[in-house]
Structure 1
Amino acid sequence: MRTTIMMDNCLSKDIYFHEFDEEINAIPLPTHFTFPFCYEPHLLAKKASEYVQQYILTQQEWIHNFGLEPKMEGQAIGKMFGVLVVQDQNKKIGFLAGFSGKLAGKNDHRYFVPPVFDMLTENSFFLLEEDHLNDLNKQIAVLEGSEKGIELKRALEETKINLDQQFIQFKEKLKTQKKERKLLRDHSKSVLSAASYALLEQDLIKQSLRDKYELHVFQKQYQLDMAAAEQPLQDFIDTIADLKEERRKRSSRLQNQLFAQYNFLNANGESKNVMDIFKAFNKLQPPAGSGECAAPKLLQYAYLNQYKPIALAEFWWGQSPSAEVRRHLHYYPACRNKCEPILGYMLQGLLVDKNPMLENPDENIALPIIYEDESLVIINKPEEFLSVPGIHVQDSVYTRMIKKYPDAGPLIVHRLDMSTSGILVLAKNKEAHKIIQSQFINHTIVKLYIALLDGIITEDAGMISLPIRVDLDDRPRQLVCYEHGKKAVTRWEKIAVVAGKTKVRYFPLTGRTHQLRLHSAHPSGMNCPIVGDDLYGQKANRLHLHAAYIAFNHPVTNERIHFYVEPNF
């Protein structure tokens, strides 16, 4: 569906196509479209972003609390915005603007391209069903927050205590009766005749059988009484469970009904539903919100209106979410979990920049060996080089070293992120590997990293403790999570401040993925990303993080050995 306005059978100016107010003819157009998951914004995309940023600052049409104004009412929610530089059918260059999710409670705003499907239109099936789901949520919240469940649990506990006490008393009674029978037997053997004793024994056996029967009856009644006491609580629990199951089913149906509305175009003019796109990509159900990010909206509008996509960029505006690291005005790649399948399909038919993650490193890259003996090899790993083979790129420290030492192994004791340079320890045999690895596990190895932070740190030293887990919506990014994250602790010391940047020493006390990068950038950590960190900060010539020092016990001599390599930044 075209969203341009028709007047007198002529197309009026497209309100979503924005022209540059400055001369841009001198800026060469890119030969390939932006690879959306790792890119440096093209100059035209940067200029378009500046136009959008100025519009956000000056517009008077809507109010949204981005967290940039301390006294503004409402919850602060930062937002990802996107720009798509396009060429119209007359070869004129302009740009489209978009945002991810909702803005100021709406999906549709005059300046920004409309959503692929607007679920928030009045009386839409989404809003009607959302009312039902909200009602279910309220019912569940009322039940879970009520005193009834507590009272039912208390009543059950009291009933169980009473029944258990009765059971103990009953068993004590049977135990006493058994002892009395034994005493009677022992006494009667010496005073009764054989015939009389036989009659007595028969009676005592009957008493014993009676006691067993009464115990069986008591146990059965105990179970019946307990079941009766448990039923009110179980009914209460089942009521909540039934409401939750109804909510789950209705949510699932609603999500599928929504997904049926999301049909995406690609540059070849083909259309495919989001369910089919994800099925072909990873055979999984699309995550909630798939298709609501800025990039798919922008491309969809461009294709619908015969605009040729030229370059893409996305930037963050506002306060960072508490768990993630998003910095105001920084550019970010598209998210992986929701956007990779969709954009992979939508970009078919376009010439797109190569994925740098799929490019093999230069074969001439050297792996300097700084120490070697019969048990160990210690190298100075260059930046942007894998420790172990990746899914697509095989060249790595491991593959290079296994060629050099074909009889060695398991070799890799620990890893460095691809972008991190510095000291990497390799073991030539299983025994050395086991001994060194145990030192890593027991935290007896001392490691020191040097990093250059993109800002000024006023403190001289400190400790950061922020739990970390992977961002399931945007791997390999990590986020801070106090519920499911793993403990991550870093000690740091300031070295110097030079030209507005701070050089620091990091002593990681745990070894989580991206620990130093996230602890640097997160507002509750250093609040200052590492220079060149394209995941948590801004891209540069390299990530300025270097594993500079390591100390551990030699696996054979047990002598404490240490190594230091100065970073090249």
Structure 2
Amino acid sequence: MTALPVVFNNPFYYEPHPVCQLAMGQLAAWLRGEDSPFSAVPAVAAFREEAGRGKMFGVLVVRREADGAAGYLAGYSGQLCGRSDWTDFVPAVFDYLQPDGHFKRHEAEIVGVNREIDLLEAERRVADDEAERLDEGDPRPMFEKAKGEGETDEEHVRRRQFENAELHRWKVRHKARTAQWQARWQEKEVRLLSLKRLRRQKSDDLQRWLFSHFSMMNARGERKDLLEIFGAIPPSGSGECCEPKLLQYAYTHGLHPLGMAMMWWGDSPKREVRHHGHYYPACNKRCKPILGWMLQGLDVAPNP
């Protein structure tokens, strides 16, 4: 029988404990479509297909506080097939994806604002092209300032007076055309700026609402939301990685965490170094502040 971890591994610097590797091996076999103790229910095709395009999976070895029985939990980062509630995996810390819920309704409002902004900006690009062609058919007159060959001083003065008058008349016409163009767009420019301010406000409000509902627990049973943990609006996707989802489920279900491991499954992403079947530490951008809170109260191995 494989011994259980004595100290919880540091999720930012670790070699997977043998019992974590055993748990992950069972999960990997299930993901490959093999019979596995992980679950008697095979993974559906859509789940396996999307996971194969690249997804981080995690396992958390736990001991049940009621009777000391050991086992493990499994989780995945974010959503799979638009869901965070697949059987045999821990759910999201906060499920904000209900079709008629607060997040989706307000997200739809922001999408509507974005559409109007896109339309106005497309119209503005057309208008900018028009502005560059305002003087077509009436280009700015160009004159030779120097006295022409055989031109007397008096003739040169009269010519320059006429040319200056012509240029002045052209400038008046140009100014009138420009003013007319600006008048047509002034109202739309005001609307565009107003929509952009509205979009920012709605996005900030929705982000604050969302992260205030991620109430993260630590091993002492204390809670903080993500706004409190980060001291500002957190990066997008915070609270949705494997590690916080696994720990949150354990804390809220009478399970004591013993060790965890995270493994990349499927295709490598373009912007990160991730290889199929390799173990990886928790991310610094989102997980470090969150786990710094959630691991309080556990005996955690130091980060060398």
Bin for the TM-score computed over the shorter chain: 0.7 to 0.9
Between the aligned partners of 1:112 and 1:267, the Cα distance in structure 2 is 21
- Alignment counterpart, residue 276 of structure 1, candidates 215, 219, 228: 228
Partner in structure 2 of residue 156 of structure 1: 131
Output the amino acid matched with 1:64: A
Cα distance change of structure 1 residues 125 and 181 upon mapping to structure 2, 3 Å threshold: farther
Cα drift, residue 273 of structure 1: 1.4
Q: 1:110 aligned to 2:87? A: yes
Partner in structure 2 of residue 501 of structure 1: none
Task: Describe the SS at the equivalent of 1:276.
Answer: helix
Partner in structure 1 of residue 278 of structure 2: 330
Cα drift, residue 213 of structure 1: 8.1
Between the aligned partners of 1:334 and 1:40, the Cα distance in structure 2 is 13
Cα distance change of structure 1 residues 160 and 221 upon mapping to structure 2, 3 Å threshold: closer
Q: 1:289 aligned to 2:237? A: yes
TM-score (norm 1): 0.46
Output the amino acid matched with 2:46: H
Output the amino acid matched with 1:255: Q
Q: Is the 8 A contact 1:152 1:232 kept in 2?
A: no
Between the aligned partners of 1:131 and 1:75, the Cα distance in structure 2 is 27
- Alignment counterpart, residue 87 of structure 1, candidates 56, 60, 63: 63
Alignment of 1:319-468 (within 5 A): 319-356=267-304
Cα drift, residue 285 of structure 1: 2.7
Between the aligned partners of 1:257 and 1:215, the Cα distance in structure 2 is 60
Of residues 109-118 and 219-228 in structure 1, the stretch that sits farther from structure 2 once superposed is 219-228
Q: Is the 8 A contact 2:30 2:42 kept in 1?
A: no
- Alignment counterpart, residue 129 of structure 1, candidates 103, 106, 118: 106
Partner in structure 2 of residue 96 of structure 1: 73
Between the aligned partners of 1:78 and 1:66, the Cα distance in structure 2 is 10
Task: Describe the SS at the equivalent of 1:302.
Answer: helix
Q: Is the 8 A contact 1:156 1:230 kept in 2?
A: no
Q: Is the 8 A contact 1:299 1:309 kept in 2?
A: yes
Q: Deviation string for 1:175-213 (max 9, x for gaps)?
A: 89xx98942699xxxxxxxxxxxxxxxxx9xx96x9978
Q: Is the 8 A contact 1:63 1:104 kept in 2?
A: no
Between the aligned partners of 2:18 and 2:296, the Cα distance in structure 1 is 24
Output the amino acid matched with 1:55: W
Identity between Structure 1 and Structure 2 (%)? 38
Cα drift, residue 32 of structure 1: 1.4
Q: Deviation string for 1:417-451 (max 9, x for gaps)?
A: xxxxxxxxxxxxxxxxxxxxxxxxxxxxxxxxxxx
- Alignment counterpart, residue 180 of structure 2, candidates 213, 217, 228: 228
Cα distance change of structure 1 residues 349 and 248 upon mapping to structure 2, 3 Å threshold: same
Q: 1:312 aligned to 2:287? A: no
Output the amino acid matched with 1:121: Q
* Structure richer in helix, relative to its length: 2
Task: Describe the SS at the equivalent of 1:159.
Answer: coil
Q: 1:183 aligned to 2:165? A: no
Between the aligned partners of 1:82 and 1:75, the Cα distance in structure 2 is 13
Output the amino acid matched with 1:330: H
Unaligned runs of 5+ in 1: 1-23, 68-73, 187-203, 357-569
- Alignment counterpart, residue 54 of structure 2, candidates 63, 71, 78: 78
Between the aligned partners of 1:231 and 1:288, the Cα distance in structure 2 is 40
Between the aligned partners of 1:351 and 1:185, the Cα distance in structure 2 is 96
Cα drift, residue 55 of structure 1: 3.2
Cα distance change of structure 1 residues 324 and 233 upon mapping to structure 2, 3 Å threshold: farther
Between the aligned partners of 1:327 and 1:247, the Cα distance in structure 2 is 38
Q: 1:54 aligned to 2:29? A: yes
Between the aligned partners of 2:156 and 2:250, the Cα distance in structure 1 is 101
Cα distance change of structure 1 residues 230 and 259 upon mapping to structure 2, 3 Å threshold: same
Cα distance change of structure 1 residues 65 and 271 upon mapping to structure 2, 3 Å threshold: closer
* Structure richer in strand, relative to its length: 1
Alignment of 1:450-489 (within 5 A): none
Between the aligned partners of 1:112 and 1:149, the Cα distance in structure 2 is 49
Greater relative contact order (CA < 8 Å, ≥ 6 in sequence): 2
Partner in structure 1 of residue 141 of structure 2: 168
Alignment of 1:417-566 (within 5 A): none
Cα distance change of structure 1 residues 234 and 34 upon mapping to structure 2, 3 Å threshold: farther
Output the amino acid matched with 2:81: A
Between the aligned partners of 2:169 and 2:131, the Cα distance in structure 1 is 22
Unaligned runs of 5+ in 2: 35-40
Between the aligned partners of 2:154 and 2:26, the Cα distance in structure 1 is 103
Instruction: Kindly name which structure, 1 or 2, has the bigger radius of gyration based on alpha carbons.
Output: 1
CA RMSD, 1 decimal: 3.3
Task: Describe the SS at the equivalent of 1:113.
Answer: coil
Cα distance change of structure 1 residues 150 and 262 upon mapping to structure 2, 3 Å threshold: closer
Between the aligned partners of 2:46 and 2:228, the Cα distance in structure 1 is 35
Partner in structure 2 of residue 261 of structure 1: 213
Cα distance change of structure 1 residues 31 and 211 upon mapping to structure 2, 3 Å threshold: same
Cα drift, residue 215 of structure 1: 6.0
Cα distance change of structure 1 residues 181 and 268 upon mapping to structure 2, 3 Å threshold: farther
Partner in structure 2 of residue 492 of structure 1: none
Partner in structure 2 of residue 392 of structure 1: none
Between the aligned partners of 1:75 and 1:222, the Cα distance in structure 2 is 61
Partner in structure 2 of residue 29 of structure 1: 4
Cα drift, residue 220 of structure 1: 5.1
Between the aligned partners of 1:328 and 1:102, the Cα distance in structure 2 is 19
Cα drift, residue 217 of structure 1: 6.8
Aligned positions, number: 293
Q: Is the 8 A contact 2:207 2:233 kept in 1?
A: no
Q: Is the 8 A contact 1:160 1:226 kept in 2?
A: no
Partner in structure 2 of residue 64 of structure 1: 46
